[in-house]
């Protein structure tokens, strides 16, 4: 960035810009570094991948086969289950993260004695890698000796086979993911709440207690933060992969497969063109779900 | 608000302590506990305290395993993380600045482009082709650029959201005072972005540090081992030594923990002292 | 500085030419203790004899992640100088004719047993030398448990079922299972190790299977393996936590007698010996029983091999070939024997097994000596569906019937065949 023209608006040029009034103070040069890095290292490979989705691609050679890969992709008998699981996972983790972390953030900005301790502890899971989280929860969720079930049994509840029961596995992984992602969501909410001008709180304090404050100040005024959390969590949920892969691997059988794990397994199998096609489908699906959401949020963005 | 009785607060504190303790502290205590056991005791997965406290010798075993490979891995991971984070903050901030402040078509196009990055999974092999063409394959720089490209969307989103809360009047005041657009960005806006920057630093640093797939593909070779890859190979090397596996988890979690502790205070103060509010 | 550097460089080049081979090779192997241990021991032994050659061992993850790394590196021309990989259908997916050095003309290939060469060939080209012992796939069983319950080794599937009923009645898990994520490959054994029986029932199965002349879902011989899995679920053969048990959990159950049997490849014996040295002699092996006691025999797996990619050239190629010739000698197999317990026969001529091999290995040898052994399907056909392991788990956990599973597998094969561009699909 240092090499770019650093000064364009000194005393001599400024009147000109003003006069022309077309030249914005927000120079196009600000785009350039990002555009280069993003274009070369993301968009270009992605465009190549889109091309390869139309080929039978062995990595060693590729033959153009039109849209056949897409046909094969949709023929996968497990695909509808993967679609269902993807939606369940995204909605569930996104919902849980918002529902838990907004009140949590409100609580953690309300001046508890151990506030900073709580903030730290809630954020800790974010620091651990998915592989490590996977190892830890595989152990904690073991049906017989796992601590979670030991605890449940101690209070007289039956402990399920969290990750081994085909009907339960996807929900268990969603819980693990919520545990892991709560810290980020809470952090964004804390940032949002602390950005609310003090006067609002003072006004609420005159009218009533903590509920009024939450219902009439925090909830409406952290709308931007809520949008950010929902968007990130929802997209993150739709394209989640690592936590599923390190806990259930999409199993038992195909029971907790999501779109990304299906695509990844195709990649692993050496179906490179097919998995590229799967990624295109994934992209379209996420776009179709997220774009309206984004439009909606953008229109209702709050300027404080 | 401050006037509420301490008694009501106390029970809230207690309830939180129990809930947070069960949900968040127990898994951590478990990791430490497992890392403190002998391999036989660890294999039972029980909460029983270890008969001999082996934490330090286990950690030492993990560190000196295969000629102190762990130290090299930690060093590589830190270089990668710091390099990528510095770059992504600079690029992300300037990008968010121009996108949020301009409301023209290019801005919304750029915004849409970047957000595809949030959605489309990275294409591994084509990226390797590109890196090879540029002579950047198997270099730390190459991997840093890839990481930056992949983290740019998130960074942009956070910064843009924060920029929305910085009034344009501040820009106008600076411009009237004779600042160029780069000066406006560098001396006025960038410092104001501090809370968002800290958020981005913490989150992207953690994501990049914890990622194992990209280094696996773009930075192969024994010299280039990273922290998460040690964990991966430990999983197959020490199939029955859960104590060492968890000791590895513990060791590689230390750098992000240190970083978090370093930024923690700033995270909180940076969040509360954001100069533009109220 | 630069002034100094150029003469120095020149000096090195001259020196390099004079001593001809100060060569450094890298060898890529998966990071399991046995496989990487073998390569490290071979490299150390070779370097002792050839101080002018340095061999650095690079590690990669195992399993399908590792397969990906190998394919990616080959496709991008970034492979190490030598590497370790499976033989059979997995090798075919590497497109060896485009990526690997043909070893068929090398003198040391005369040391390699012909039946192995088939598994690493394409056309007339041969690409690898075996770098471990072969192994059998079938049932590992705990002899102590069998003795205590007065059981005989079953020769037919019905006897196997009857045994399991008795074992279950005695409160012992009849068949250990390990369906946890990352361990699902172990679920395929009932299907894959049944191939001896399939081949007995339908000679020429492999060829017609590759040519799409067989429907897995309706062919009784091919379907049997899937039905075995369903039967295991229906009759409750697996332990309670099978869905989250790992390979190592299952080995532990088998070694300690909590489980009586474990369908597995015999390479598991090295793992058992490492972790349960006192129990490994209790472990025996029998072939997966079929319908006819007179036609009982074992399905065999070919060893993994060492390959040289085409990107290795010049002095490195010469050094790599010399190292490979060492691997393909009885001196090489002796190094392997000293590193890990043999799990089966070597495929190197003149290689000897020590007298104190494990009892289970003697069981395997008995099948081989009596002519009752046959290679697994993956060494006879390039076609193997990638989803087989998940399908097997789905059947074994009651999510699919055998017929549904076989139908799914048929589709899986179809996709694989289309990707391989095989004729007839």
Interface touch B236/C31, C-beta < 8 Å: yes
* CATH number listed for the domain at residues C20-133+303-353: 3.40.190.10
Which residue among B129, B138, B236 places its CB closest to the CB of C32?
B236
pLDDT band of residue B115 (cuts 50, 70, 90) is confident
Residue A63 per-residue DSSP state: E
The sign of the CA dihedral C1, C4, C10, C13 is: negative
- A-contacting residues of B 167-226, CB under 8 Å? 171, 175, 178-185, 195-196, 199, 202-203, 206, 209-213
Pairing of the two strands C259-265 and C173-175: parallel
Which range has the worst mean pLDDT, A38-47, A107-116, B181-190, C199-208?
A107-116
pLDDT digits (tens, 9 = 90+) for C400-409: 999 999 999 9
ipTM of the complex: 0.86
**Which chains form contacts with chain C, at 3 or more CB pairs under 8 Å?**
A, B
Interface touch B125/A59, C-beta < 8 Å: yes
Residue A76: alpha-carbon gap to chain centroid:
26
CA distance B123 to chain C (A): 12
Taking residues B213-241, report their average pLDDT: 80
**pLDDT, position B268:** 57
Which residue among A49, A114, A145 places its CB closest to the CB of B123?
A49
SS (H, E, C) chain C: CHHHHHHHHHHHHHHHHHHCCCEEEEEEEECCHHHHHHHHHHHHHHHHHCCCEEEEEEEECCHHHHHHHHHHHHHCCCCCCEEEECCCHHHHCCCHHHHECCCCCCHHHHHECHHHHHHHEECCEECEEECCCCEEEEEEEEHHHHHHCCCCCCCEHHHHHHHHHHHHHCCCEEECCCCCCCCHHHHHHHHHCCHHHHHHHCCCHHHHHHCCCCCCCCCHHHHHHHHHHHHHHHCCCCCCCHHHCCHHHHHHHHHHCCEEEEEEECCHHHHHHHHCCCCHHHEEEECCCECCHHHCCEEEECCCEEECECCCCHHHHHHHHHHHHHHCCHHHHHHHHHHCCCCCCCCECCCCCCCCCCHHHHHHHHHHHCCCEEECHHHCCCCCCCCHHHHHHHHHCCCCCHHHHHHHHHHHHHHHHHHHCCCCC
pLDDT band of residue C423 (cuts 50, 70, 90) is confident
C416 touching A, CB under 8 A?
Answer: yes
Residues of chain B neighbouring C77 (CB-CB closer than 8 A): 132
- B238 vs B216, residue with greater confidence: B216
Domains in chain A: boundaries: 14-71, 76-299
Rounded to whole angstroms, the Cα distance separating C189 from B50 reads 38
pLDDT digits (tens, 9 = 90+) for C285-331: 999 999 999 999 999 999 999 999 999 999 999 999 999 999 999 99
- B120 vs C245, residue with greater confidence: C245
Q: Per-residue pLDDT for C10 more than 70?
A: no
Residue of B nearest to A245 (CA): B213
B130 touching A, CB under 8 A?
Answer: yes
- What is the signed CA dihedral for C2, C4, C6, C11, rounded to 10 degrees? -160
CATH of the domain spanning A76-299, picked from 1.20.120.720, 1.10.3720.10, 1.10.10.10, 3.40.50.300 = 1.10.3720.10
Share of chain B above pLDDT 70, in %: 91
Instruction: Collect all residues with Cβ–Cβ distance below 8 Å to C111 and sequence separation of at least 6.
Output: C328, C329, C348, C349, C350
Interface touch A251/C64, C-beta < 8 Å: no
Residues of chain C neighbouring B230 (CB-CB closer than 8 A): none
**pLDDT, position A14:** 42
Containing B69, the helix (H) or strand (E) segment is helix B55-101
Which residue among A5, A48, A235 places its CB closest to the CB of B126?
A48
CB C157 within 8 A of CB C290: yes
pLDDT digits (tens, 9 = 90+) for B125-170: 889 889 999 999 889 999 999 999 999 998 998 888 788 878 889 8
pLDDT band of residue B269 (cuts 50, 70, 90) is low
> How would you label A260-280 residue by residue, b for 16+ Cβ within 10 Å and e otherwise?
bbbbbbbbbbbbbbbbbbbbb
* Per-residue pLDDT in tens (0 to 9) along chain A, 304 residues: 333 333 333 443 444 444 444 567 788 889 999 999 999 999 999 999 999 999 988 777 888 998 989 998 998 888 999 999 999 999 999 999 999 999 999 988 887 888 888 888 998 898 999 989 998 999 999 998 889 999 999 999 988 999 999 999 999 999 999 999 999 899 888 878 887 888 888 888 777 777 888 888 888 888 888 888 898 899 999 988 889 988 998 989 999 999 999 998 888 888 888 989 998 999 899 889 988 988 888 787 766 5
CATH architecture of B66-272: Orthogonal Bundle (1.10)
CATH architecture of C135-301+362-420: 3-Layer(aba) Sandwich (3.40)
- C-contacting residues of A 148-177, CB under 8 Å? 161, 163-166
Give me the helices (H) in chain A, please.
Answer: 14-20, 32-38, 44-52, 68-75, 79-108, 115-127, 130-140, 147-154, 169-194, 198-207, 210-212, 219-221, 223-238, 242-247, 259-268, 272-299
């Amino acid at each position: 960035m240092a090499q770019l023209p650093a000064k364009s608006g000194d005393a001599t040029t400024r009147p000109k810009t003003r006069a022309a009034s077309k030249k914005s103070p927000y120079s196009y040069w600000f785009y350039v570094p990002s555009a280069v890095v993003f274009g070369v290292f993301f968009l270009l490979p992605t465009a190549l991948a889109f091309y390869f989705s139309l080929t039978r691609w062995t990595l060693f050679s590729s033959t153009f086969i039109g849209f056949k890969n897409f046909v094969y992709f949709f023929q996968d008998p497990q695909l509808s289950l993967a679609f269902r699981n993807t939606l369940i996972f995204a909605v569930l983790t996104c919902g849980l993260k918002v529902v838990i972390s907004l009140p949590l953030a409100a609580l953690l900005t309300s001046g508890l004695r151990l506030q900073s301790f709580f903030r730290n502890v809630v954020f800790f899971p974010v620091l651990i890698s998915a592989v490590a989280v996977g190892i830890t929860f595989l152990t904690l969720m073991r049906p017989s000796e796992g601590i979670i079930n030991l605890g449940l049994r101690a209070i007289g509840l039956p402990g399920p086979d969290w990750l081994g029961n085909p009907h339960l596995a996807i929900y268990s992984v969603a819980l693990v993911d919520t545990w892991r992602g709560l810290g980020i969501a809470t952090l964004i909410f804390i940032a949002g709440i602390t950005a609310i001008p003090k006067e609002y709180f003072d006004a609420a304090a005159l009218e009533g207690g903590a509920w009024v404050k939450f219902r009439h100040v925090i909830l409406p005024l952290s709308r931007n933060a809520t949008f950010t959390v929902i968007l990130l969590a929802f997209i993150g949920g739709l394209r989640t992969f690592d936590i599923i892969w390190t806990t259930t691997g999409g199993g038992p059988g195909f029971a907790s497969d999501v779109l990304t794990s299906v695509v990844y397994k195709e990649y692993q199998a050496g179906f490179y063109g097919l998995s590229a096609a799967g990624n295109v489908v994934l992209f379209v699906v996420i776009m179709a779900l997220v774009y309206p959401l984004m439009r909606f949020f953008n229109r209702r963005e709050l300027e404080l | 608000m401050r006037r509420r009785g301490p008694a009501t607060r106390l029970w809230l504190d207690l309830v939180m302590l129990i809930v947070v303790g069960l949900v968040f502290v127990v898994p951590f205590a478990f990791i430490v506990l497992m890392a403190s056991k002998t391999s036989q005791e660890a294999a039972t997965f029980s909460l029983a305290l270890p008969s001999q406290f082996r934490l330090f010798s286990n950690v030492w075993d993990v560190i000196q395993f295969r000629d102190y490979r762990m130290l090299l891995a930690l060093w590589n991971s830190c270089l990668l993380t710091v390099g990528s984070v510095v770059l992504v903050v600079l690029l992300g901030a300037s990008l968010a600045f121009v996108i949020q402040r301009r409301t023209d078509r290019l801005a919304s196009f750029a915004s849409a482009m970047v957000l595809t990055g949030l959605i489309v999974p990275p294409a591994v092999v084509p990226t390797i082709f590109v890196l090879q063409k540029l002579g950047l394959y198997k270099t730390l720089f190459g991997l840093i650029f890839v990481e930056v490209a992949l983290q740019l969307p998130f960074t942009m989103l956070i910064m843009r959201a924060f920029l929305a809360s910085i009034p344009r009047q501040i820009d106008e005041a600076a411009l009237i005072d004779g600042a160029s657009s780069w000066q406006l960005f560098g001396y006025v806006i960038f410092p104001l972005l501090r809370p968002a920057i800290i958020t981005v630093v913490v989150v992207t640093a953690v994501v990049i540090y914890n990622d194992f797939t990209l280094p696996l593909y773009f930075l192969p070779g024994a010299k280039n081992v990273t922290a998460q890859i040690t964990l991966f190979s430990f999983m197959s090397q020490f199939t029955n030594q859960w104590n060492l596996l968890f000791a590895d988890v513990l060791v590689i979690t230390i750098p992000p923990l240190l970083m978090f502790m370093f930024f923690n205070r700033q995270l909180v103060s940076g969040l509360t002292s954001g100069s533009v509010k109220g | 500085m630069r002034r100094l550097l150029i003469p120095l460089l020149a000096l090195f080049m001259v020196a390099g030419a004079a001593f001809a081979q100060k060569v450094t090779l890298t060898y890529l192997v998966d990071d399991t203790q046995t496989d990487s241990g073998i390569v490290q021991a071979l490299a150390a032994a070779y370097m002792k004899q050839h101080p002018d050659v340095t061999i650095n061992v690079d590690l990669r993850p195992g399993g399908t992640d590792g397969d990906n790394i190998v394919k990616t590196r080959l496709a991008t021309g970034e492979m190490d100088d030598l590497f370790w990989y499976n033989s059979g259908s997995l090798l075919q997916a590497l497109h060896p004719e485009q990526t690997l050095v043909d070893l068929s003309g090398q003198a040391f290939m005369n040391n390699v047993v012909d039946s192995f060469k088939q598994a690493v060939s394409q056309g007339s080209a041969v690409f690898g030398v075996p770098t471990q012992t072969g192994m059998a796939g079938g049932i590992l069983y705990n002899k102590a448990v069998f003795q205590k319950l007065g059981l005989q080794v079953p020769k037919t599937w019905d006897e196997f079922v009857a045994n399991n009923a008795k074992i279950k009645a005695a409160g012992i898990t009849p068949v250990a299972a390990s369906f946890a994520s990352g361990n699902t490959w172990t679920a395929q054994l009932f299907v894959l190790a049944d191939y001896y029986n399939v081949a007995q029932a339908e000679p020429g199965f492999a060829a017609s299977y590759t040519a799409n002349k067989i429907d897995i879902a309706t062919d009784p011989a091919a379907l049997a393996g899937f039905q075995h899995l369903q039967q295991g679920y229906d009759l409750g053969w697996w332990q309670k936590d099978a869905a989250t048990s790992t390979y190592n959990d299952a080995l532990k159950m088998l070694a300690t007698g909590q489980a009586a049997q474990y369908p597995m490849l015999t390479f598991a014996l090295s793992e058992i010996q490492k972790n349960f040295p006192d129990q490994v002699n209790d472990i025996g092996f029998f072939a997966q029983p079929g319908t006819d006691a007179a036609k009982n025999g074992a399905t065999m797996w070919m060893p993994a091999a060492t390959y040289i990619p085409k990107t290795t050239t010049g002095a490195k190629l010469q050094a790599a070939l010399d190292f490979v010739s060492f691997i393909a000698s009885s001196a090489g197999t002796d190094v392997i024997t000293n590193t890990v317990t043999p799990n089966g026969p070597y495929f190197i001529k003149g290689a000897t097994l020590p007298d104190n091999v494990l009892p289970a290995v003697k069981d395997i040898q008995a099948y081989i000596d009596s002519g009752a052994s046959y290679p697994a399907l993956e060494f006879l056909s390039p076609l193997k569906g990638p989803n087989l392991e998940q399908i097997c788990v789905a059947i074994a956990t009651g999510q699919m019937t055998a017929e549904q599973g076989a139908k799914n597998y048929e589709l899986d094969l179809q996709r694989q065949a289309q990707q391989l561009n095989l004729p007839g699909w």
